[in-house]
Amino acid sequence: MGNPPLSIFQVSGRAMSAQLLRMNTTASNLANAGTVASSPEAAYRTIKPVFRSAFDEASGLSTVDVEQIVTAGSEPTKRYDPGNPLADKDGNVWESAVDETRELVDMLESSRTYQNNVEVMQTAKQLIVDTLKLGR
């Protein structure tokens, strides 16, 4: 026998977990904006979650899972800064190429999607409560 069908609470819960991870990676990117390193390999690179949709045949509902977290975006920027303690022998440092505007938009979008799923759960709960009240 297969898995039991997903409930609306499980679908929304998985979507909320995915958006929470998205918010966390965005927060990490924002926290590392403008950081420098002594080499391009050591410089911070933007990270993003990769989502994978999953269809549940038993319920006919689709949900989302995080498949992996990958590095994305531009390469670190070389900057001449001989006074920086992290500068290499040529006086260069590599600055993370975090696009703060894009990250803030991602944060806002993931926050709103998370809130939408909270509202889905609240609506489903209220409908269940209202249905139970009809039986009184």
Is 38 inside any structural domain? yes
List of residues 6+ apart from 103 with CB closer than 8 A: 26, 29, 30, 33, 46
Q: How far apart are CA 57 and CA 62, in angstroms?
A: 9
Q: Which domain holds residue 47?
A: 8-135
- Count of domains in the chain? 1
Q: Are 98 and 32 spatial neighbours (Cβ–Cβ below 8 Å)? A: yes
Is 51 inside any structural domain? yes
Q: What is the pLDDT of residues 78-102, one digit of tens each?
A: 999 999 999 999 999 999 999 999 9
Q: What is the pLDDT of residues 13-71, one digit of tens each?
A: 999 999 999 999 999 999 999 999 999 999 999 999 999 998 888 888 888 989 999 99
